[in-house]
Chain A
Amino acid sequence: MAKQKSLKEEFTKGIVKENPVLRLVLGTCPTLATTTSMESAIGMGISAAIVLVCSNIVISALRKVIPQKVRIPCYIVVIASFVTIVQLLVKAFVPSLDQQLGVYLPLIVVNCIILGRAEAFAGKNGIVASAVDGLGMGIGFTCALIVISAIRELLGAGSLLGHGILPFPAMTIFILAPGGFFVFGLVMACANKLAEAGGGKKAELGGCKACPMASSCEKLAKGEDCEKEKEAVK
């Protein structure tokens, strides 16, 4: 690959233009689940970013060794190894965070952002570019989590990072499940609005390119859903 994009561009695209959560709509599960407080959101963002950078580096270093046909299982093994490392580190040094994140920590393995970047970027690009891409995407993920969690914690618990701020009673619903969906929906609407003002496209699920399982999904797409969705978008 020729250097058609500067490293700076690779870095910033993950934060704004291709923000994994708000633009590519990947990794929705951890986004909804860990944004009940800013603390756990930051913890999740950083853990995922570490896994993302490390797995991007290793996968890009191995991209010529891994056979095309079994690449997805190989990627999963690499990612799972780094998730285990992060999991053990968090358990050892920040046990309170481990308690908060619970099952979502091991579930970073199936976070589609990580597999998606491995498939879409690290498998095709050099080590430095992949590391920068991973870092940008990781920071973009963390930023989106922080924005959503700040809203939810402020409204739902009346605090920010555990410090009580709101003088009036908080609306607990915002840190419960429905509030998660609601705030995520509104934040995404705002992001769409901003993107529109900046001349970008709306965020769409079924941006099939972004999904790591796009190749196996083709059968499904051929028949019905994705095709129709594409038409609906037009």
Chain B
Amino acid sequence: MKIFFSILLTAILTNNYILSKFLGICPFLGVSKKLNTAVGMSAAVIFVMLLSSAVTYPLNTFLDKHDLGYLQTIVFILVIAALVQLVEIVLKKYIPALYASLGIYLPLITTNCAVLGVTILNIDNGYSFSHAMINSLGAGLGFMVAMVMFAGVRSRLESCQVPKFLQGLPITLVAASLTSLSFLGFTGLVENMFA
């Protein structure tokens, strides 16, 4: 039980996928302008991360068994792309309410490196299936925490006077740097908590 919490908290706080692993920066900068789009995008990411980890993990075992480990990258990205399409179609047909809130973000997630990243890291870290699922959940939640926090920061930024040469993306990146700095404060937290 302890290890579950340790993995979960590590993925959310100390090794936040956006702020310390730099995975999924594009949506982080692109979709974080408003709180509700940030939440919608993150919810879709959590959903797809869990789903694709659940599918790619057994697939990788299969590949390894047949000595096809070198196909990992191709298989993973194709599975994720196909899965996202499938989910989109299924949602559209059967759960239109959910589709209305998550649907528009789904196609954007195919090329989100956080999703492919989490599936590959699950394998690289040698997690068991349950640990991999917990890690994916943590990664998704961490994504959401970072997105929501940053949406708040950005809304404050809108009303600020920014020097002309920093306007737009540069000041956003500097703000991201400060947000990420605050997450550095969690370093060592998880190790000590479960020591």
Interface string of B1-41 (1 = CB under 8 A from A): 00000000000000000011111111001110110010000
Size of the A side of the interface (Cβ < 8 Å), in residues, is: 55
Contact A216 B22 (CB under 8 A): no
Contact A112 B111 (CB under 8 A): yes
A-contacting residues, B140-195, CB 8 Å? 165-174, 176-178, 180-181, 183-184
| Chain B nearest CB, measured from A182 CB (Å) | 4
Contact A203 B168 (CB under 8 A): yes
Query: Contact check: which of A73, A112, A213 meets B78 at CB < 8 Å?
Result: A73
Contact A189 B78 (CB under 8 A): no
Q: Which of B46-54, B58-66, B115-123, B131-139 contacts A (4 or more CB under 8 A)?
A: B115-123
Contact A178 B170 (CB under 8 A): no
Contact A213 B77 (CB under 8 A): no
B98 CB within 8 Å of chain A: no
| Chain A nearest CB, measured from B149 CB (Å) | 14
Contact B170 A224 (CB under 8 A): no
B111 surroundings in chain A (CB, below 8 A) = 110, 112, 115, 212-213
Q: List 20 A-B contacts (CB under 8 A).
A: A29-B26, A33-B22, A76-B81, A80-B73, A81-B74, A84-B70, A84-B71, A87-B73, A107-B116, A110-B111, A178-B177, A178-B181, A179-B177, A180-B22, A181-B176, A185-B171, A213-B110, A219-B104, A223-B104, A228-B33
| Besides A205-B29, A228-B33, 10 other A-B contacts (C-beta < 8 A) | A30-B22, A77-B78, A80-B78, A84-B74, A106-B73, A109-B77, A112-B26, A181-B173, A189-B170, A220-B104
Chain B residues close to A by CB (< 8 Å): 19-26, 29-31, 33-34, 37, 70-74, 77-78, 81, 104-105, 107-108, 110-113, 116-117, 120-121, 124, 165-174, 176-178, 180-181, 183-184
Chain A residues close to B by CB (< 8 Å): 25, 28-30, 32-33, 73, 76-77, 80-81, 83-84, 87-88, 102-103, 106-107, 109-112, 115, 173, 176-182, 184-186, 188-189, 192-193, 202-206, 212-213, 216-217, 219-220, 223-225, 228-229
